[in-house]
A and B are shown apart, each in its own frame.
Chain A
Amino acid sequence: MRDLPLQFCEYVLELTSVHRAPAYFVIDDEGGIVMQGGNLPFYGLQDISPAESTADDLLFLTGVFPIGEEPVSFPKVEMLPGVFADIHIFNRSDQNWVLLLDTSGEVAQFRSVQQHRNDLRLKLERQNRAANRPAEEA
């Protein structure tokens, strides 16, 4: 946030931490969990512990490592029924940083639009097929 005055940076941080339930993991190159924190219970990840778990227990990380220069993101991953996270994975100081941000509200809004749209499309497709069929057979 190079060009933003500090006050805006702080405000953006505040918004994120209040509204988007940040949670994180730091993963080493062997898949060990080095550090974790934030609102993990929100995503159902309260039972993950650095002592007893590895990155393999975090199914959304399967196959993603190693991460190069380019960060990886998985938008709208369902973590619990109705709870969705935008997941960001990036490499800093030779460790893998995994950040989860809540996006459940956006998903809920979008779902009703998408459901309606797809239902309507299927109905139109069916009508078109019904209209075309007798003509083809004739």
Chain B
Amino acid sequence: MIQKKVCMLGAFAVGKTSLVARFVKSIFSEKYHTTVGVKIDKKVVAGENGDINLILWDLYGEDDFQKVRMSYLRGSSGYILVVDGTRAATLDTAIGLNRNVEEAVGVLPFVVVLNKSDLTQEWEIDEGRVSQLAAQGWSFIRGSAKTGEGVEEAFQLLVEKISRA
């Protein structure tokens, strides 16, 4: 079976680990356990030309003290950029990360998840900025690792982009 490596990228505590847990094991936990280094998971998904074994690299979050090392992206077919919809600054982190990836490994397929969509009251993401980035070709999916909304769709969309790349 074809294997494709996909990295989870984003600021700390945006929900990278939770999205993988929801997608792979259909579970969610409110408790926050930060990721150190990387944890690798896998899940078989249907691709346009048969099944694909997705190898998911759940990386530690980017912050001022710790930039994400681009060497982890080596061999990646694409990535999911995760933004916490309740923390506007995490969109800036995602934009910066995307720039770093494009400089280090070139242009790859990616999908942006605006995560924590269940927290509508606390939503902070500016729709204007989202439309602007969408106009530049960014694909956004509003989702929630807690309710499961948008999670399958996000990974499926990435797989489609990878198949077409």
Contacts and interface: CB of A to CB of B under 8 A. Distances in A.
Contacts, number: 70
Contacts of B55: 59, 62
Given A62-B4, A62-B5, A64-B74, A115 B34 contact: yes
B37 A72 contact: no
Interface string B77-94: 100000000010000000
Interface string A94-138: 000000000000010011001101110110010001000000000
A107 B36 contact: yes
B95 to A, nearest CB: 18
Nearest to A67: B74
B37 A76 contact: yes
Interface in B67-83: 69, 71-72, 74-77
A74 interface: yes
A84 B32 contact: no
Given A111-B34, A114-B34, A78 B39 contact: yes
Nearest to B72: A74
B40 interface: yes
Q: Which of the four size classes fits the interface of chain B?
A: 20 to 34
Contact of B38 (A61, A65, A76): A76
A129 B60 CA distance: 25
B13 interface: yes
B43 to A, nearest CB: 12
B42 A59 contact: yes
B25 interface: no
A62 B34 contact: no
A10 interface: no
A56 interface: yes
Interface string A7-44: 00000000000000000000000000000000000000
Question: What 10 pairs across the A-B complex have the smallest Cβ distances?
Answer: A63-B75, A76-B37, A62-B5, A64-B75, A78-B39, A62-B55, A63-B5, A111-B36, A115-B34, A62-B3
Given A63-B77, A64-B75, A78-B38, 9 more contacts: A59-B42, A62-B75, A63-B76, A84-B36, A114-B66, A115-B32, A115-B34, A118-B34, A118-B63
Interface of A: 56, 59-65, 72-78, 84, 107, 110-111, 114-115, 117-119, 121-122, 125, 129
